[in-house]
Amino acid sequence: MTEQDPVNSVFPQAELRSPSEVMRLRRMGAFFPTRLSFMRILMRGLAEQAPTVRQTVWDMDGSGFGQAVLSIDYCGHTYSLVAFTNALDAGSRTDRVIAEAWDATFVLFDGIPSEADLKRNRDNAPKQEGGRFSDRELVLSRANKSVRFFEHTVDALARGVQPDAEMVQDIGYLMRTTAVYGNGKFGIADRSLVVNRPGVSGPFQIEMLTVWLIRHFSHALVEHVARMRLPSTAVPLARNLKRHLGIGNSTGLGMAPFLVNHPVLLNNWMMVRETALARARASGSIDVERARQLSLRVTRHLSEWNVPDDNQTAKIAQLRQDWAELNASNDWIDADLPWETFFQRSKVYGLECQELAVAFLIEQNGTLIDGLADCLGSDFSPRIDATVSCTALKAQIEEIAAWALEPDFEDKMQTAQFWYVSEEKLEPRLGGRFEEPGAELESPLDIARQIKNLYEGLGASVSVAEFLMAHPEHRNAVRRVQTLSKFPYAEIQDNLIAQDCLPIDMLRAKLSLFGASKFDPKSDRWTRITLYQGAPLADELGMEDADDWWLPCFVP
Amino acid sequence: MMRSQNEIRSTCVKAARGAGHSSGLADDLAAAALWLCQNHFDGIGVLLAELRMEAKQANYQHIGGILQLDGASAGCVAVCAVDGLLSGMVQQAELKSVSNPLMVLGVLGTASHDHNCAIKVDGWAEVNCGQVVSVGDTPPADECVVRLAETRASQKATAAVSQIDIEDHRWSVLEAFAARTYVPATAQSRAAGAGAGLTDND
């Protein structure tokens, strides 16, 4: 054991796992949510304050079409979810980015909207990318109903009975978002507006607040429609079912470029995660009963994780077996360093089991690690240090970016794909370089190739300043390498244009950082997930166990 | 129309790439344009003037601590000048044929912010840690000399939270440059996008 200090720690910690071990696509594609995931951080903050969600506007017809405003006072600011719902033809209901209409559209408004604000948003929110917004709008989102389940739930509640528990368990949401836009998109407020606000200053906190309020709205909407259908017999959703109903989400390639385009943020998220693991491993303290209960919860959660995708199904089956074997003996709890012992034992199993063990350790050491949430953000802009020599830069690449030098980019397999932005709603896509047009317009996500080209082009005797005057095309690669030298987890250490690059791995990594679970891949480039399943409801924020919803299980 | 700062920066990056600049340089030019906008200059107009020039690298030579740069747009030569000065390679940079001097100011402003330093253009302007110290009424007509200045203690400029008004016709031109990086949709690309191949009426 060593004591390191990557984030000004005063806690003992084990040696961090190296970036070369962690920052690989296959491992990132096996990540699980942790207590440092963005949703968990938000909910801990909300639970501390236990604010009330108020329905300040509820102007819905009997079919649930109309407008609503849900407001919440949190850490000195009022935020309002403004919701618009409308009838939608089945033929128009698609989760694709290229969709033009949705069952529901939302903005998170900064404050309480006036009638004029409502009208402005009513005119623009349903258009989504086609609308224009102001810096009073913090987040823009849209969602589609899970149509059959929504109608089933309305029908059941109206008749005075609860929806089918098996459907609740299997589907897990009434609505799924198809986009959640923040940080200045389409004229909404820049992140700088909220970056210093308590409670929402961390990465994606304002977006996660929006999704949690959308979940609350979806519960209220289904109860409203049931009540309007048969007022005399309608009943509200049972609390246990409501708690299991999160918000679905379809996530595609748009998430993947974010990880590449924000290297310092990626570093911080991973550094925090790895530091949390290192602190947990060094801890000699364990609540044996809590560990036993959580282990059982994991087993049950895995049994409830069933998806149609054959590949993921096979991974889940292996994971169930690995987890059972890893937990077959509990003698590790008597070790001087029980978590380290458990962690070391997990290493012989598959990546899914290894990363589940990581999240398991983190979950049970909150007092050591929850403060790390303050280290997730960054306002640092990558920059070039022109003072170094090309010789030094070359040595630096060999030391920290050898992974970029490994692929043979003359081999077509290593350049088989290219990332690009489609003119269709500017959707990020991935194409086949040798089968599809547009490779000459590819987005610069080919980091490994850029670094290797830089390495091969570096002269020996001049400064980086002079080198870049002669070779400005290497400017991005120089910046990436120099950023990596300061932020060791800043790069995914794989070739992102290789034939075997699977974007789903990047999506799962990022979604796990958000706090999603029960990944349901629909191809190697998009997945469905559920957000906030098992999370506290608005009237449960003050409960003692409000933070205890990691890997939730259905409660019949 | 009012535009968010993230919207401005991301569109400027794409526009610069669309005009033929490498991604690394496009980031620098976009940062410079946004810095100009934040400091009440016509950053988009300045960037568009830059993008209308051929994207090519600067000619350079350094003699006796002086870096001479020409043959490229103002942004390109200014980026080289900053690298040369901050590396200690030279003490001053002479920029020739600078037809767009405000872009030079944008690049220097951004660099002074990122590197916590002061930089000046002799006889015209000085920036310190991302803030404008002085800007004369008459920018250099063709040539300018750039050098590091004495850095003063300064609270770093924080980005204004308010949005920035960009004239629609300028924005349209900027978007047209950005659109040069977009790939036309095909049935094949559409079929492989997120959400494809599944009914959403479940």
Q: Which residues pair with A545 in a beta bridge?
A: none
Question: In this predicted structure, what is the pLDDT of residue A98?
Answer: 73
Structure tokens at A543: 């409960």
Q: Taking CB atoms and an 8 Å limit, are B76 and A423 in contact across chains?
A: no
Q: Taking CB atoms and an 8 Å limit, are B195 and A526 in contact across chains?
A: yes
Q: Taking CB atoms and an 8 Å limit, are A475 and B24 in contact across chains?
A: yes
Over residues A512-532, the mean pLDDT reads 93
The DSSP symbol for A374 reads G
pLDDT band at B197 (very low <50, low <70, confident <90, very high): low
Q: Taking CB atoms and an 8 Å limit, are A429 and B192 in contact across chains?
A: yes
| CB contact residues (below 8 A), chain B span 126-165, against chain A | 158-159, 161-163
B contacts of A149 (beta carbons < 8 Å): 202
Q: How far is A146 from chain B (nearest CA, A)?
A: 6
ipTM score above 0.85: yes
The backbone torsions φ and ψ at residue A6, rounded to the nearest 5 degrees and listed phi first, read -70, -25
Structure tokens at A551: 């890997």
The DSSP symbol for B172 reads H
The DSSP symbol for A410 reads T
The pLDDT tens digits for A486-497 are: 999 999 999 999
pLDDT band at B157 (very low <50, low <70, confident <90, very high): low
Question: In this predicted structure, what is the pLDDT of residue B43?
Answer: 97
Q: Which of B60, B76, B197 is facing A523, going by the closest CB pair?
A: B197
- H or E stretch covering A505: helix A503-514
Which residues, 6+ apart, have CB-to-CB distance to A72 below 8 Å? A51, A52, A53, A54, A78, A79, A80, A209, A213
CA atoms within 13 A of residue A401's CA, in its CB half-sphere: 31
Question: In this predicted structure, what is the pLDDT of residue A8?
Answer: 53
The pLDDT tens digits for A75-107 are: 999 999 999 999 999 888 887 777 888 999 999
Question: In this predicted structure, what is the pLDDT of residue A9?
Answer: 61
Question: In this predicted structure, what is the pLDDT of residue A2?
Answer: 44
Q: Is the pLDDT of residue A113 over 90?
A: yes
Question: In this predicted structure, what is the pLDDT of residue B137?
Answer: 93
* Cβ-based contacts under 8 A for chains A and B: 196
The pLDDT tens digits for A13-52 are: 999 999 999 999 999 999 999 999 999 999 999 999 999 9
Question: In this predicted structure, what is the pLDDT of residue A1?
Answer: 43
How far is B12 from B4, CA to CA, in rounded Å? 12
B contacts of A189 (beta carbons < 8 Å): 4, 161
A contacts of B2 (beta carbons < 8 Å): 134-135, 187
Whether the CB of B176 is below 8 Å from some CB of chain A: the reply is no
- The pTM score is 0.95
Q: How far is A413 from chain B (nearest CA, A)?
A: 19
Interhelix angle B43-51/B23-38, nearest 10 degrees: 150
| CB contact residues (below 8 A), chain B span 27-86, against chain A | 27-28, 31, 57-58, 60, 62, 69, 76, 79-80, 82-84, 86
**What's the whole-number average pLDDT of chain A?**
95
Sheet with B144-149, strands from edge to edge, namely B59-63, B66-70, B92-95, B144-149, B118-121, B125-128, B131-135
The pLDDT tens digits for A256-268 are: 999 999 999 999 9
Q: Is the pLDDT of residue A440 over 90?
A: yes
Q: Is the pLDDT of residue A6 over 90?
A: no
Of A11 and B119, the structure prediction assigns the larger pLDDT to B119
Over residues B137-165, the mean pLDDT reads 83
Q: How many residues does chain B have?
A: 202
Question: In this predicted structure, what is the pLDDT of residue B198?
Answer: 62
Question: In this predicted structure, what is the pLDDT of residue B196?
Answer: 64
The pLDDT tens digits for A305-334 are: 999 999 999 999 999 999 999 999 999 999
Interface test with B, best of A175, A475, A520, A529 (most B CBs within 10 A): A475
Structure tokens at A12: 């003992």
How far is A532 from A219, CA to CA, in rounded Å? 13
B183, closest residue in chain A (CA to CA): A422
**Positive/negative CA dihedral, A450, A451, A457, A458:** positive
- Other C-beta atoms lying within 10 Å of the C-beta of residue A166: 10
Question: In this predicted structure, what is the pLDDT of residue B200?
Answer: 66
How far is A405 from A419, CA to CA, in rounded Å? 20
How far is A261 from A248, CA to CA, in rounded Å? 26
How far is A344 from A358, CA to CA, in rounded Å? 10
Which amino acid, one-letter code, is at A376?
A: L
Question: In this predicted structure, what is the pLDDT of residue A255?
Answer: 86
Q: What percent of chain A has pLDDT over 70?
A: 98
